[in-house]
Amino acid sequence: MTRIIPYELIKHLEWTPDQEVPSQPKPVQPLSNNPMYDLDDILKGRTFHSEERDDNGNYIGVVIALQEALDYVGDKGIIATMPIP
C-alpha cells in the first residue's frame, strides 16, 4: 500500500494565487565560458585518491582526497569530481 502524507502536515507548503512568486536563482556561469580554464586543462590535472579508514573501519578516503585537492589548487583552482563506480 502506498503511504500518503496527511494534508495537515503539508498544507503550509501549498502555494496560493495571492502569494508572491518567489525569485528564481541566477544561472551559474558555465565553465566553458571561463577563459582561464578549458576542458583539456582540467583533464591534465592531478588525481587524488585515498583508501584510508577511520577507527571504526569506515572509508574516509573521499574526504581526505578532497581536502588534499583543495589544498593543492588553492582559492582559484577547479576541482572536478567523479562518482565512485
At 65 the pLDDT is 87
The answer to whether 40 and 16 are in contact (CB under 8 A) is no
pLDDT of residue 34: 54
Predicted confidence at residue 49, as pLDDT, reads 84
- Model pTM? 0.47
Nearest to 46 by CA among 24, 69, 66, 25: 69
Q: What's the CA dihedral at 5, 11, 13, 19 to 10 degrees? A: 160
Give the start-to-end residue ranges of the domains of the chain. Answer: 22-73
**Residue 59, phi then psi, degrees to nearest 5:** -65, 130
Q: For the chain, 85 residues long, give each residue's pLDDT as a single digit of tens.
A: 677 888 889 888 888 888 888 788 888 766 555 566 666 777 777 888 888 888 998 888 888 888 888 898 888 777 877 766 5
